[in-house]
Amino acid sequence: MKGYTNGEIQDFEDETSPAGVILGLDGGTTSTVCICMLASASISFGGGEAAESLPILSRASAGCSNFNSVGEAAAKETLEKVMVEALSMAHSNSSAVRAICLAVSGVNHPSDQQKILEWVRDLFPCSVKIIIENDAVAAMASGTLGKLHGCVLIAGTGCIAYGFCEDGRQARAAGAGPILGDWGSGYGIAAQALTAIIRAHDGRGPQTTLMNNILNVLGLSSPDEVIGWTYADPSWARIAALVPVVVASAEDGDEVADKILHYSVQELADSVKAVIRRLKLSGEDGKSPFPLVMVGGVIEANNKKWDIGKEVVKLISKDYPGVFPIRPKVEPAVGAALVALNQYTKSFRVDQSS
């Protein structure tokens, strides 16, 4: 494979183990991360100790790779660049790759999977196993060390709840993007806050400290300037970056901010519960245990009083007491690598026994 150096492309030699390497890619609306790890890794499902001892060789990152957000050309370039960089940093190349899992936000249909496969297929030998999934797969696997069973809730710039059964059945809720109402997402929270500012300024809504707090963060002097700021670059991640201001305002007692966060919590809990019902993850009696992996900036944007993740779990546990929340100790890109590793290991064992 080729590498990038000062804008030029160059070859590099493989210095990794003869067993080869695995690539795991987590492509989100905010950033894209690719990790490279040894294909000889042996993973147990024993918990944190296994997660912390993974043989990770390198980590590369880039910007958004959701083609619905930045367009196909930019998304393709980002995916290729981040994989090239991860291999280069690991002193490896495409011939050493055994399997890849690209878990990318915006992959919602087999046609999306085929599109990305066509983008990356020629970058690697035909023997390489390439898995294309929604980024929810990487997030789920990061909490279960590659085992796809249970539910994952991603609440970052966007949001989605995705469920997996051991028999292969899957279900999802939300994740349709801001136009179609992912109000539990970071974008949804921040967009409601910006709307609240305009409503308060117009006299259509209650006064809120969000006005001064957000104006100060953005360096604006008037609510009228919020309109220009918003539409100058309405990228999802740029809007979602205001979530910490909303949380801080709610912590300080602002009722409007508090209402926005409660609505977000309800939306996120409803999404998870919809998946649980469809897949019967909690069993026929609704009480069986199941893991709920929780990741994303919204889940982590907490202060002393507000913990969005805990509030979501409280609402879910009222109906499904068997819910077992997991905050992963490794990032989603590692989860993607574990999915690829598991697939490679299975196929390798089949080949060895035949």
- Asked if 102 contacts 66 with a C-beta cutoff of 8 angstroms, the reply is no
Q: Are residues 22 and 139 in the same domain?
A: yes
Which residue in the block uniquely carries the two structure tokens 């909303």?
Answer: 246
Six token digits for residue 115: 């599109």
Cα-Cα-Cα-Cα torsion 284, 142, 70, 233, nearest 10 degrees, comes to 90
Please tell me the distance from the alpha carbon of residue 265 to that of residue 70, in angstroms, as a whole number. Answer: 28
Can you give the pLDDT at residue 354?
A: 53
Can you give the pLDDT at residue 10?
A: 41
* Number of other residues whose CB lies within 10 A of the CB of residue 224: 10
Six token digits for residue 51: 């997660």
Six token digits for residue 3: 């590498």
**Domain limits at 302?**
186-326
Q: Are residues 239 and 280 in the same domain?
A: yes
Q: Are residues 8 and 141 in the same domain?
A: yes
Please tell me the distance from the alpha carbon of residue 201 to that of residue 198, in angstroms, as a whole number. Answer: 5
pLDDT (tens digit, 9 = 90+) per residue, 50-67? 556 788 999 999 999 999
In a domain, 155, yes or no: no
Can you give the pTM of this predicted structure? 0.82
β-strand partners of 155: 159
Q: Are residues 190 and 319 in the same domain?
A: yes
Q: Are residues 319 and 191 in the same domain?
A: yes
Q: Are residues 109 and 135 in the same domain?
A: yes
Q: Are residues 321 and 335 in the same domain?
A: no
Q: Are residues 208 and 345 in the same domain?
A: no
Six token digits for residue 138: 């990487």
Can you give the pLDDT at residue 327?
A: 93
In a domain, 39, yes or no: yes
Q: Are residues 213 and 286 in the same domain?
A: yes
Can you give the pLDDT at residue 28?
A: 87
Can you give the pLDDT at residue 196?
A: 98
* Number of other residues whose CB lies within 10 A of the CB of residue 53: 10
In a domain, 63, yes or no: yes
In a domain, 165, yes or no: no
Which 3 state secondary structure label does DSSP give 332?
A: helix
Q: Are residues 276 and 338 in the same domain?
A: no
What are the CA-CA distances from residue 149 to residues 27, 52, 62, 276, 311 (Å)? 21, 21, 29, 12, 23
Please tell me the distance from the alpha carbon of residue 114 to that of residue 151, in angstroms, as a whole number. Answer: 25
Q: Are residues 139 and 23 in the same domain?
A: yes
Please tell me the distance from the alpha carbon of residue 105 to that of residue 85, in angstroms, as a whole number. Answer: 20
**Mean pLDDT, each 10-residue run in order, the chain (354 residues):** 42 62 93 94 57 83 91 94 96 95 92 94 92 93 90 93 92 88 92 97 97 98 96 89 96 97 97 97 92 92 85 96 94 94 79 56
Q: How far is CA 35 from the centre of its chain?
A: 15
Eight-state DSSP code of residue 165: -
CATH code of the domain covering residue 319: 3.30.420.40
Query: How many independent structural domains does the chain possess?
Result: 2
In a domain, 162, yes or no: no
In a domain, 140, yes or no: yes
Can you give the pLDDT at residue 4?
A: 45
In a domain, 175, yes or no: no
In a domain, 176, yes or no: no
Q: Are residues 341 and 248 in the same domain?
A: no
